[in-house]
Chain A
């Protein structure tokens, strides 16, 4: 069974500081994608970053980067220089074929 686990229901970070959100997953597939999505109060799902499993290099998108540990099935998200607009729910997701599996989410609060 495919599962995605986010062990931190809530996190907080001081503005301009760095925070890391954890995600682990379980899969028997060798070819898959991993995603981090942000869901602000508007409920719109916004793609933050994507990682192809076959790529060893960690994906980065400006202030967002991941630490992808394939053997450990870990996919954490690091947000650097946190901004007030980063406050949202963050969902880790695993995708193989057309099947998407979401974690339970981490609510991130940014403290001014």
Chain B
């Protein structure tokens, strides 16, 4: 079946540095990808919708300058957390639409120390 590959699965970074998370669609083209954030024992909250070749659409309250999204090809979307702070520590998940269904990446656990 269609797979979305997300890397890295875990990352620890120092406060003030930037971290890039990649989301690749394998064996299908994803013109739209979605980025979610999940705090412990909470639901997934949509952060932004990533559109190939155009600017991402951010949800209300999400800082677009802090969470940079690039969707330069039909198979790759990246989320860069800039100047990371401990409060950015969370679980980030990407998703891509395929037909009427959605498939999710395996997630990235980000810890900012």
Contacts and interface: CB of A to CB of B under 8 A. Distances in A.
Chain B's interface size range is 20 to 34
Interface string A23-46: 000000000010101000011110
Contacts, number: 46
B104 A45 contact: yes
A98 interface: yes
A43 B106 contact: yes
B56 interface: no
B43 A103 contact: yes
Q: Report whether over half of chain B's contact residues are helix, strand or loop; otherwise say mixed.
A: strand
Given A98-B32, A98-B97, A100-B34, A44 B46 contact: no
A105 B39 CA distance: 12
Nearest to A50: B101
B107 A104 contact: no
A102 B102 contact: no
B91 interface: yes
B91 A43 contact: yes
Contacts of B102: 35, 47, 95, 100
26 contacts: A33-B100, A43-B38, A43-B91, A44-B104, A44-B106, A44-B107, A45-B93, A45-B95, A45-B104, A52-B100, A91-B43, A91-B44, A98-B97, A99-B46, A100-B34, A100-B44, A100-B46, A100-B95, A102-B43, A102-B44, A102-B45, A103-B43, A104-B42, A104-B43, A105-B42, A105-B43
Given A43-B109, A105-B41, 9 more contacts: A35-B102, A43-B107, A45-B95, A45-B107, A47-B103, A91-B43, A95-B102, A100-B34, A100-B46
